[in-house]
Chains A and B, each alone.
Chain A
Amino acid sequence: MDQLTILKWYRLMFLMRRFEEEAARAYTERKIGGFLHLYIGQEAVATGVIEAADDNDYVISAYRDHGHYLARGGSPKEGMAELFGKETGCSKGRGGSMHFFDTANNFLGGHGIVGAHVPLAAGTAFASKYRKDNRVTICFLGDGAVNIGPFHEGMCLASTWKLPVVYVIENNLYSMGTPIWRSMGTTEASIRALGYPMRRKTVEGFDVFDCFDNAKEAIDHARETCEPTLLEYKTYRYRGHSMADPAKYRTKQEVKDWQNEKDPIMVLEQHIEKDYPELKEKLEGLRSSVEDEVADAVKFADESPAPDPATVGDYTYV
């Protein structure tokens, strides 16, 4: 891997984490309302997968969407302003945390109904095949989404019609507070693909290099053959389901073990230490520039205007 790419990935993962840590802080200060679902701990997946996609590819996500938005090139300022409910936000304060949109970067949202965006992704992939535009759709979902009907209908249509889509399950082991072994009797969510004529793969999701390689293979395959893949990454979220969740359904030790052994930023630092020692001296500068960028984003969000009350009905109809 070339050095610039490694530094870019490191910076991106650090940006996701610091962006959300500051968002959590702003939430406790009541500058952010509603639901806030944090991605912290899962950064390697969004980074590796989206880096493996072309700029033209469509990316669509569920409600834990900040990381995917940032990986797609979304502006931290506009993202933070969206969380603060400001007119300058990436969805002009209409969407909030769960509904980030950035069509300029082919990021098609933030969707809040579990599993419902799985058919939407089949639809964007259908459009690509219809137009022969050579784009692939990448659809992120959680392990909690694999037990609901629309997920299965989406799998059925994508595999039957051979649509160029890669479904990425980020299996963080908990759908809200219910562990996966209690909701599907196994910890391997990708077995859901067995009912469909489609490829599946379950891989570790804490090493950004692995995340990239597995995604690249699936995305290239989708582009070349129009065959979908159900690609599952085993990952972990450090925070609760949302800011309202103290996460009493798991032990503090379990969280610590993940942080100590599989933290994606730490793991990349270890890679750099071992294989790219010459990059080590650049990390401090990168972290410092991220701190500045996140501070600027918070300041921008804080100082931006709220939507004008008179505009409440805007965007309902074309």
Chain B
Amino acid sequence: MSDRNLSIREALNEALAEEMERDEDIFLMGEEVGHYDGAYKVSRGLLEKFGERRVIDTPISENGFAGVGVGAAMVGLRPVIEFMTWNFALIAIDQVVNSAAKMRYMSAGQVKVPVTFRGPSGAVMQLAAQHSQSFESYYAHVPGLKVIAPCNSNDAKGLLKSAIRDDNPVVFMESEAMYGVRSHVPEGEILIPLGKCDIKRPGDDVTLICWGKTVPLCLKVADQLAEGGTQAEVIDLMTIRPLDEKTLIESVKKTNRAIVVQEAWPQASVGSWIAHRLQVEAFDYLDAPIRVLSGKDFPYPYATSIEAEMAPKAEEVVEAVKRSM
């Protein structure tokens, strides 16, 4: 096996290229995806390869082109709609929630919507309050959607390919801060099933539940904890909705402790839902309250000194584990 390291950006690009090569019904649409090669270069080279018919630059009109994606999917195409960031997609959330997620239900199965909405999410560096947000709970709230958040290159490729092939509308949230992070991606086809989490590191003492950017954080914490003799099990959700509750519950029954680590705000979040489900399904196995570590409950600031306070830190996760033991 060759040792092939790709950035997440390159892995996503490879997924798009392979899928578009395979199926002519797939097209990529969004702001700056073509001639500019993508605002974050995820679509680099795709215009050259597939032409303007299949790599389509849009005006700045998120609701409009998200709706075009839904409409095209309603009659059988498989659009990939890129939002320059999920922060801008709030303009289009009506098309995601009221059009894409509802169409199959309210038509009683006559219309399906195989569209993938994708783009970068979360904080990077000093982008301030309107460009630093993590909105996964907004979409995870909605029946009819699937919500995906990969944490490394291999998963990004395998999950995006599965998302594009899925017959349901999929919300695919890439970590903007991690586009350049490189990791191993084997040659050849990778398809990772949606709706399954991945145990990134097995352990018996405490379950750390995370997705996207908090996965590397939790793996780092697990290494630290191991030095002190505590074996943390790190579970990467990968798919936030539909949630693979079974894997989470089995893990907690084994470790008796769970901590959810998320970049998003705490109230009405994915973490609070997971904590609720685990206390219902594994109450008798729990030796400590389930803790949810979140981003600070404020808008994101600009100045680095206060921005650094926002995301959960390794020492906070370590502290939460200690309090659970």
Q: Report A's interface with B, CB cutoff 8 A.
A: 58, 91-95, 99, 101-103, 108-113, 116-128, 130-131, 149-150, 153-154, 156-157, 160, 314-318
Pairwise interchain contact A156-B72, C-beta atoms closer than 8 A? no
Contact across chains for A91 and B94 when beta carbons are under 8 A apart: no
Task: Report the bound CA distance from A48 to B111 in whole Å.
Answer: 26
A154→B105 CA distance, assembly (Å): 24
Interface size class of B (residues with CB under 8 A): 35 or more
CB nearest to B112 among chain A residues? A318
Q: Which of B42-50, B59-67, B227-235 lines the interface with chain A? A: B59-67
Q: Is the CB of B59 within 8 A of A120?
A: no
Which chain A positions have C-beta within 8 A of B63? 116, 119, 149-150, 153
Contact between chains at B110 and A154 (CB < 8 Å): no
> Which B residues from 138 to 187 make CB contacts under 8 A with A?
143-144, 146, 166-168
- By the criterion CB–CB under 8 Å, are B71 and A109 in contact? no
- Interface window among B73-81, B275-283, B312-320: B73-81
A154-B64 in contact given A58-B75, A124-B74 (Cβ < 8 Å): yes
Complex CA–CA separation, A315 to B112 (angstroms): 9
- Asked if residues A119 and B67 are in contact (CB atoms below 8 Å), the reply is yes
Please tell me if the beta carbons of B77 and A94 are within 8 angstroms of each other in the complex. no
Minimum Cβ distance to chain B for residue A162 (Å):
13
Do residues B94 and A130 form an inter-chain contact, with CB atoms below 8 A? no
Chain A residues near B30 (CB, 8 Å)?
none
**B107, A123: Cβ atoms under 8 Å?**
no
Interface residues of B, Cβ cutoff 8 Å to A: 27, 53, 58-59, 61, 63-77, 91, 94-95, 98-99, 103-112, 143-144, 146, 166-168, 242
* A187 → chain B closest CB, angstroms: 26
- Bound state CA distance, A113 and B107, in angstroms? 15
Closest approach, in angstroms, between the C-beta of B139 and any C-beta of chain A?
14
Which chain B positions have C-beta within 8 A of A130? Answer: 27, 53, 72, 77
A91-B75 contact given A154-B64, A157-B61, CB 8 Å threshold: no
**A123 x B70 contact (CB < 8 A):** yes
Q: Is B168's CB under 8 angstroms from A123's CB? A: no
Known: A150-B63, A318-B104. A103 touches B112 (CB 8 A): no
**B146–chain A nearest beta-carbon distance, Å:** 8
Q: Which chain A residues lie closer than 8 Å to B72 at the CB level?
A: 123-124, 126-127, 130
Instruction: Give the docked Cα–Cα distance between A112 and B106 (Å).
Output: 11
Beta-carbon contact of A109 and B94 below 8 Å: no
Query: How far in angstroms is the closest Cβ of chain B from A199?
Result: 19
Question: How many angstroms between the C-alpha atoms of A123 and B77 in the bound complex?
Answer: 10
**Can you give 5 A-B contacts (C-beta < 8 A)?**
A119-B63, A119-B65, A123-B70, A123-B75, A153-B65
**Given A119-B71, A124-B72, residue A153 in contact with residue B61 (CB < 8 A):** yes
